[in-house]
Amino acid sequence: MRRISDRHWRPGDLIPGEVELAEEFGCARATVNRALRELADIGLLDRKRKAGTRVALNPVRKATVEIPVIRQDVEARGKDYSFDVLDRKDLAPSAILQQHYGLAASTPLLGLWTLHRADTYPFAYEERWINLAVVPEILDADLELLSANEWLVRNMPLSRGEFTFSAGNATAAESELLNCPEDAALFIVNRSTWMVDDAITAVRLVYAPGFSMKTVV
Amino acid sequence: MRRISDRHWRPGDLIPGEVELAEEFGCARATVNRALRELADIGLLDRKRKAGTRVALNPVRKATVEIPVIRQDVEARGKDYSFDVLDRKDLAPSAILQQHYGLAASTPLLGLWTLHRADTYPFAYEERWINLAVVPEILDADLELLSANEWLVRNMPLSRGEFTFSAGNATAAESELLNCPEDAALFIVNRSTWMVDDAITAVRLVYAPGFSMKTVV
DNA sequence: AAGTGGTCTAGACCACACC
DNA sequence: GTGTGGTCTAGACCACTTC
């Protein structure tokens, strides 16, 4: 790492092999391997068998964003968390959902519309559907007590998730729910999660104005 | 991982120690150690010396967001990248910058205002300052040819960074630059990077409407 | 074919956190 | 004190990729 920041080894350079480095540093090859592997994990090195290890040409910064449960997010801001389930109904997947998530037309879905609050102020508005074919147990849960968000995190480990972050202007309905002017700029997260090949849930979260998501590298 | 998703080991459960698992799976302890370490890295396990390994109670998913150079971001969308440096001048840090980034009042800064384009359409507007006390060499670079963004990534590979993602309404100036209606919702990234204790650069990126940032777990 | 990284083993000692 | 994970060693074999 020092040799990279020194520019002693420059982007694109081929660095010595593991055996050679182990000799130089007087340690075992496994130790060198772990060090180089960790540097490759954070994007500083590119490694290929036979071709060797090079200093990454495009040190793509990999920021790890923590996706907290909304309750924790609110509480971390020093506010009291509460939420209301505004609506709840059984659904059949629309053609778009069927295609995008590979759902059969007959898949039973649970739709939930929830408003999350911080100290009684609207914090985020959530639209969600849940695949009941995969998590039928959620029907036994009291979702007025523990939010679906939290229930799923606690009970349904996911193997794969997709997140999309964007910005959008508040619609009339959103402005009323989030108590903000129409057309206010809102931070939006779309998230869908899978367990192996089965879509578990997809959710659209619209945060009240002023929300920001922080992360550190 | 299977035992966690099975709920065979439930959130909060203490799982067997490394030695025991190694015996059960008929492998070396180092192999178990690496497996458990990797599961802890992605947030599925909590490990403590003496206390043992537990299934994470709050499986905070850690999504790694790749922060590409803007040129790569544009090119990945199948567009041609170009940019214009709209303005450039030497600055002294404002009181706010001095405080927030620990800069001396005498620190020389370079200010840059850049418009990034995709196929001649505005893609993002960038406001940036660079700490010349740390990277004086950047004055020798032709920043009309290689963007400051890219020059810094290539030449200052190691640093600590802070990212903030938010949404904001387009100001009059931004609406003109990005060719969008005033008050359009824009995706905004604030990023600052340090080299040890020295602030290197801070940048505010305002993306044109329709931009979204995707990531996968 | 050959050289590189990828992974594993068996054993050892250490450091921390809890008792 | 004591048990846990954290790290290292020396050696081995494997798999991929380039030659």
Give the DSSP per-residue string, chain A: -HHHHTTSS-TTPEEPPHHHHHHHHTS-HHHHHHHHHHHHHTTSEEEETTTEEEE-SS--EEEEEEE--HHHHHHHTT--EEEEEEEEEEE---HHHHHHHT--TT--EEEEEEEEEETTEEEEEEEEEEETTT-GGGGGS-TTTS-HHHHHHHH---SEEEEEEEEEEPPHHHHHHTT--TT-EEEEEEEEEEETTEEEEEEEEEEPTT-EEEEE-
Q: Is residue A213 one of the residues assigned to a domain?
A: no
**Which among B10-14, B93-97, B177-181 has the top mean pLDDT?**
B177-181
* Of A66-80, A154-168, A193-207, minimum mean pLDDT range: A154-168
Instruction: Give me B194's structure tokens.
Output: 């340090």
Cβ atoms < 10 Å from Cβ of A82: 15
Query: Would you call A185 and B167 a contact, using CB atoms and an 8 Å cutoff?
Result: yes
A46 and A111 part of one domain: no
**pLDDT (0 to 100) of residue A114:** 93
Domain end call among B39, B61, B83: B61
| Mean per-residue pLDDT over chain B, rounded | 86
The rounded distance, in Å, linking the Cα atoms of A121 and A208 is: 9
A38 and A139 part of one domain: no
Judge whether A76 is closer than 8 Å to chain B, CB to CB: no
A40 and A98 part of one domain: no
Model confidence band, residue A61 (pLDDT cutoffs 50, 70, 90)? low
A51 and A80 part of one domain: no
The rounded distance, in Å, linking the Cα atoms of A201 and B2 is: 20
The rounded distance, in Å, linking the Cα atoms of B6 and B2 is: 6
Instruction: Give me A109's structure tokens.
Output: 């879905």
| Chain B neighbors of A215, CB-CB under 8 A | 65, 162-165
Say if residue B25's pLDDT is above 80: yes
Q: Is residue A215 one of the residues assigned to a domain?
A: no
A91 and A190 part of one domain: yes
- Give the best residue of B153, B158, B174 to mutate against chain A (max A CB count within 10 A): B158
A83 and A161 part of one domain: yes
Q: Is residue A216 one of the residues assigned to a domain?
A: no
- Sequence length of chain B is 217
Q: Residue B18's closest CA among B43, B57, B50, B42?
A: B50
**pLDDT (0 to 100) of residue B185:** 94
Cβ atoms < 10 Å from Cβ of B27: 12
Say if residue A59's pLDDT is above 70: no
CA distances from B145 to B82, B85, B142, B148 (A): 10, 10, 6, 9
Judge whether B213 is closer than 8 Å to chain A, CB to CB: yes
Give mean pLDDT, residues A155-172: 83
Does any strand D atom come closer than 7 Å to the Cβ of A29?
A: yes
Nearest chain B alpha carbon to A209: B167
The rounded distance, in Å, linking the Cα atoms of B25 and B55 is: 19
**pLDDT (0 to 100) of residue A125:** 96
The rounded distance, in Å, linking the Cα atoms of A121 and B198 is: 39
Model confidence band, residue A208 (pLDDT cutoffs 50, 70, 90)? very high
CATH code for position B25: 1.10.10.10
Domain end call among A61, A83, A99: A61
- CB hemisphere CA count around B49 (13 angstroms): 0
Helix (H, G, I), strand (E, B), or coil: what is residue B21? helix
CATH code for position B196: 3.40.1410.10
Instruction: Give me A61's structure tokens.
Output: 């910064």
pLDDT per position as a tens digit, B75-127: 888 899 999 999 999 988 788 888 888 787 888 899 999 999 999 899 999 99
B194 vs B158, residue with greater confidence: B194
DSSP state string for B43-87: TSEEEETTTEEEE-SS--EEEEEEE--HHHHHHHTT--EEEEEEE
Say if residue A76's pLDDT is above 90: no
Tell me which nucleotides of strand D come within 7 A of a protein CB.
Answer: 2-12, 15-18
**pLDDT (0 to 100) of residue A198:** 80
Say if residue B207's pLDDT is above 70: yes
**pLDDT (0 to 100) of residue A116:** 95
- Give the best residue of B9, B41, B62, B64 to mutate against chain A (max A CB count within 10 A): B64
Distance of B19 CA from C12 C1′ (whole Å) = 14
Distance of A49 CA from C5 C1′ (whole Å) = 5
Strand order in the sheet with B14-15: B14-15, B52-55, B45-48
Number of domains in chain A: 2
Q: Is residue B214 one of the residues assigned to a domain?
A: no
Model confidence band, residue B159 (pLDDT cutoffs 50, 70, 90)? low
pTM score, two decimals?
0.82
Domain of B8 in residue numbering reads as 2-61
B12 and B116 part of one domain: no
Tell me which nucleotides of strand C come within 7 A of a protein CB.
Answer: 2-12, 15-18
B104 and B154 part of one domain: yes
A92 and A130 part of one domain: yes
